Amino acid sequence: MEVNVLFICLGNICRSPMAEAIFRDLVKKEGLDNKVSCDSAGTGGWHVGNPPHKGTRDILKINNISDEGIMARQFIKEDIEQFEYLIAMDPSNIKNIQKLSGDSAVKTRLLLDYTDQKKGKEVPDPYYTGNFDEVYGLVREGCEALLKEIKTTYHF
What contacts 33, CB < 8 A, 6 or more positions away? 27
Identify the H or E element spanning 27. helix 15-29
CA nearest 69: which of 115, 35, 37, 31? 37
- Active-site hit among 25, 39, 67, 125: 125
What contacts 63, CB < 8 A, 6 or more positions away? 136
* Catalytic residue flag (residue 15): yes
CB 45 within 8 A of CB 74: yes
- Active-site hit among 15, 24, 57, 140: 15
* Catalytic residue flag (residue 133): no
* Catalytic residue flag (residue 125): yes
Catalytic residues: 9, 15, 125
